[in-house]
Chains A and B, each alone.
Chain A
Amino acid sequence: MKKTFKLSMMAAMTAATLGYGSVASADIMIATAGPMTGQYASFGAQMKAGAEQAVKDINAAGGVLGQKLVLEVGDDACDPKQAVAVANQMVNKGVVFMAGHFCSGSSIPASKVYEEEGIVMISPASTNPKLTEEGGENVFRVCGRDDQQGDVAGKFLKATYGDKQIAFVHDKTAYGKGLADATLATYQAAGGKEAMYEAITAGEKDYTALVSKMKQSNVGVMYLGGYHTEGGLIVRQMREQGMDTVLVSGDALVTNEYWSITGAAGEGTLMTFSPDPRKNPVAAPLVEKFRGMGIEPEGYVLYTYGAIQAWAQAATAAGSTDTAKVIKGLKAGKFETVLGNFGFDAKGDVTAPGYVLYKWTNGNYDYL
């Protein structure tokens, strides 16, 4: 018994030394994590595409501090519990930077793990204000916040659909509820009165009861705090019941999968999202490169790319991948990325412009 114990200890120690040695010798481990599986997997694919390309391009240009970057991809399936497990896995792998996660509900608990372990985190997509408000020094994001997004959406709803009945629906996730509440607060502050406030369960397929309920209340506009799968199904079921209600939602609709669910029913859907980085002249060569590979750099592809660029520039400027130095660099610096030039404020929020409205027409989204 004793002998076995000794042997296994030795084996473990050897493994640990070897593992440490191979990472320290040449490469810097960075990671991205998001819903690589599950119903939001199209966003995970966006992040993975952006991160892989960023690592490839940075390595081709000589890496960071003369070392090559190695990318780890984690799958949290947008599940808070799995996000913490992925975060711990990344810690064990010796990752120094996380370009993730996607869902706010995953990013918030995972950020606590990264904070304890001293890992820099830049989320390309999590918009819930709590992430940076309550997060540690190590937490940044390159996307906007739901209080900004809700502000734009709430004012837009009041100004454009002031005479219509508006229903507010959320999917009970950190992102969905946060966004719907922020939008509702702005809408009410502007003097609006909601016709309905309801919560749905993500992952279900039957929303006919909700649709009939909105029909009964004569709802002309529905604001959804939620993701594209639910939004798509609700729109489909609204059209089947002969309603022409407009769906207005947030940045979780920025995937072509939305259109593949709705088909023509998605025509005229509105959403808020940051200004499209694809239209940024700086990003033009990269966008071409992605399209050449058959990947449309929609949604969060370029955001993930930009997050890694910002970290790489901060690390280069700091001359080290040491967490404290990189954090200082991120807070002090200005970064030239595919998202344009931006910096971070004291909380870790990006200083880039906020939100604009988009409209879905014929399978594509563009500024309203």
Chain B
Amino acid sequence: MEYFIQQLINGVTLGSIYGLIAIGYTMVYGIIGMINFAHGDIFMIGAFISLITFLVLGIIGITWIPLALLIVLLVSMIIASIYGWTVERLAYRPLRGSFRLAPLISAIGMSIFLQNYVQLLQGARVRPMQPVISGGFTFLEGSAFSITVSYLQIVIVLLTIILMTAFALIISRTSLGRAQRGCEQDRTMSALLGINVDRTISLTFVMGAALAAVAGMLFVLYYGVIDFYIGFLAGVKAFTAAVLGGIGSLPGAMLGGLLIGLIETYWSAYFSIEYKDVAAFAILVLVLIFRPTGLLGKPEIEKV
């Protein structure tokens, strides 16, 4: 039982990071119906910016951890947002209204560009960072299996829940959210009703990038090792999570992320670690056979 709980903690933490990235995929898909393949790389850039900001703060002597975290969070969100906005401006907006596959290809191009850009700027080696927040709680100490929860794991899960709720509220309650939902349903009609479609789509990319930056910061803090290639692996997993949960649905992305994290962890825990990806993708295939729109996705109704 203790072992089960420990693996639950591992799985939920991993799933939260996947979910946080998956929200970015799902939002962009919800608005423009396109997968933003550069999203994983924005996450990677967010992680690098966080690492650099931590180092800079260390040099100038800001070592009070809550303040440092807040500064890093803001800096990485702002800079990553600029990247997100630029990606939209360069790879999506010029191709809006052209055939459906064009922006998809340009986004893949953007993803390759960003990877190589970071590789050239930061080098191809892994970049390590020593733990900033260490320690945690230990339960059942002295028994056969003591459960450990680190402060960071708690921070990751809490922050994910808070951001998830905040973004769900933005989309369902604010005028920006109303505009986003309008664009999702009918872009031409929204424009006729006075919604600035370009601006709404840009803001969606900015929001997605800011979330990816948060995930990047948590990734650096939790694992402590990053390289220019992390965006690819994390992106694939998060994209899978978004599809599993139902792409276009915010709670779906979170649910999908958690499920992928938990399946991977429990498969590793009770079966073979070697085949954990097989397990995760097998479940994805099964879900898509029975629910092609994912767990919480709305079925698309074609009006004839």
- Which residue of the partner chain A has the closest CB to B261? A206
Of the candidates B3, B13, B230, B273, which one forms a contact with A198 in the assembled complex, judged by CB atoms under 8 Å apart? B273
Tell yes or no: B33 within 8 A of A by CB: no
Q: Please name all residues of chain A whose beta carbon is closer than 8 Å to the beta carbon of B227 when the two chains form the complex.
A: 38-39
Complex: how many Å from CA A42 to CA B126? 9
For residue B2, which residue of chain A has the nearest CB? A216
A280 at the binding interface (Cβ < 8 Å): no
List chain A residues, Cβ under 8 A from B131.
Answer: 236, 263
Interface string of A260-281 (1 = CB under 8 A from B): 1101000000000000000000
Comparing A64-72, A142-150, A207-215, the segment that makes contact with chain B is A207-215
Contact among A42, A198, A209, A212 with B274 in the assembled complex (CB-CB below 8 Å): A198
How distant is the Cα of A216 from the Cα of B131 in the complex, in angstroms? 25
Closest to B266 in A: A209
Least CB distance from A235 to B in Å reads 11
Q: Measured between alpha carbons, how far is A172 from B265 in the docked complex, in Å?
A: 19
For B3, give its contact among A39, A172, A216 (CB under 8 Å). Answer: A216
Contact B272 A209, beta carbon cutoff 8 Å: no
B10 surroundings in chain A (CB, below 8 A) = 206, 208-209, 212
* A42 cross-chain contacts in B, Cβ below 8 A: 125
A200 contacts which of B125, B233, B265, B273 (Cβ < 8 Å)?
B273
> What is the CB-to-nearest-CB distance from B237 to chain A, in angstroms, rounded to a whole number?
10
**Closest residue of A by beta carbon distance from B127:** A260
Name A199's contact: one of B14, B134, B138, B273 (CB within 8 Å). Answer: B273
Interface flags, A200-229, vs B, CB<8A=1, else 0: 110111101110110110000000000001
Contact B233 A203 (CB under 8 A): yes
| A interface majority secondary structure | helix
Q: Which residue of A lies closest to B11 (CB)?
A: A209
The B-contacting residues of A in range 208-260, CB under 8 angstroms, are 208-210, 212-213, 215-216, 229, 232-233, 236, 240-242, 257, 260
Q: Are the CB atoms of B273 and A263 closer together than 8 Å?
A: no
Would you call B223 an interface residue if the criterion is a C-beta within 8 Å of the partner chain's C-beta atoms?
yes
Which of B75-83, B142-150, B163-171 interfaces with chain A? B142-150
Give the total number of A-B pairs whose CB atoms are below 8 A apart. 90
Alpha-carbon distance between A216 and B138 when the two chains are bound, in angstroms: 15
**Other-chain residue from B123, B128, B268 in contact with A210 (beta carbon distance below 8 A):** B268
Partner of A242, one of B13, B124, B138: B138
A38 nearest in chain B by CB position: B124
Q: Is A41 located at the chain interface by the 8 A CB criterion?
A: yes
> Any chain B CB within 8 A of the CB of A36?
yes
Q: How far is the CB of B9 from chain A (nearest CB, A)?
A: 8
Given contacts A205-B223, A209-B10, A236-B224, contact A242 B148 (CB under 8 A): yes
Instruction: Flag whether B277 is at the interface (Cβ < 8 A).
Output: yes
Tell yes or no: A14 within 8 A of B by CB.
no
Closest to A45 in B: B125
Chain A contributes a number of interface residues (CB within 8 A of B) equal to: 34
Is B229 interfacial (CB 8 A cutoff)?
Answer: yes
* Cross-chain contact B229 with A39 (CB below 8 angstroms): yes
**Inter-chain contact A212/B269, CB cutoff 8 Å:** yes
Tell me if B225 is interfacial: C-beta within 8 Å of chain A. Answer: yes
A210's closest neighbor in chain B, by CB?
Answer: B273
For chain B residues 1-51, which have a beta carbon within 8 Å of chain A? 3, 6-7, 10-11, 13-14
- Let me know if B126 and A206 touch, CB within 8 A: no
**CB-nearest residue of chain B relative to A75?**
B124
Residue of B nearest to A243 (CB): B148
Contact between A261 and B124 (Cβ–Cβ < 8 Å)? no
Chain B, residues 224-244, CB within 8 Å of chain A (1/0): the string is 110101100100000000000
Residues of chain A contacted by B264 (CB below 8 angstroms): 209
- Contact (A261, B128) CB under 8 Å given A199-B274, A216-B145: yes
A37 interfacial contact with B, CB 8 Å: yes
Are A37 and B124 closer than 8 Å at their CB atoms? Answer: yes
Q: In the complex, which residue of chain A has the Cβ closest to the Cβ of B224?
A: A236
Quick check: is B130 within 8 A (CB to CB) of the other chain? Answer: yes
Q: Does B119 contact A (CB under 8 A)?
A: yes
Shortest CB-to-CB span from B229 to chain A, Å, is 7
Q: Closest residue of chain B to A199, judged by CB? A: B274
- Chain B residues near A36: list those with CB within 8 A: 124
Interface string of A25-65 (1 = CB under 8 A from B): 00000000000111101100100000000000000000000
10 nearest A-B pairs in the assembled complex, by CB-CB distance:
A37-B124, A209-B268, A199-B274, A208-B10, A205-B223, A261-B128, A209-B265, A41-B125, A41-B124, A216-B3
Can you report 5 residue pairs joining A to B where beta carbons are below 8 Å apart?
A39-B227, A198-B272, A199-B274, A213-B273, A257-B125
**A205-B225, A210-B268, A236-B224 known, 4 other contacts, Cβ within 8 Å:** A199-B272, A206-B223, A210-B273, A242-B138
Residues of B within 8 A of A (CB): 3, 6-7, 10-11, 13-14, 119, 123-126, 128, 130-131, 134, 136, 138, 145-146, 148, 150, 219, 223-225, 227, 229-230, 233, 264-265, 268-269, 272-274, 276-277
Q: Which residues of A contact B (CB under 8 A)?
A: 36-39, 41-42, 45, 172, 198-201, 203-206, 208-210, 212-213, 215-216, 229, 232-233, 236, 240-242, 257, 260-261, 263
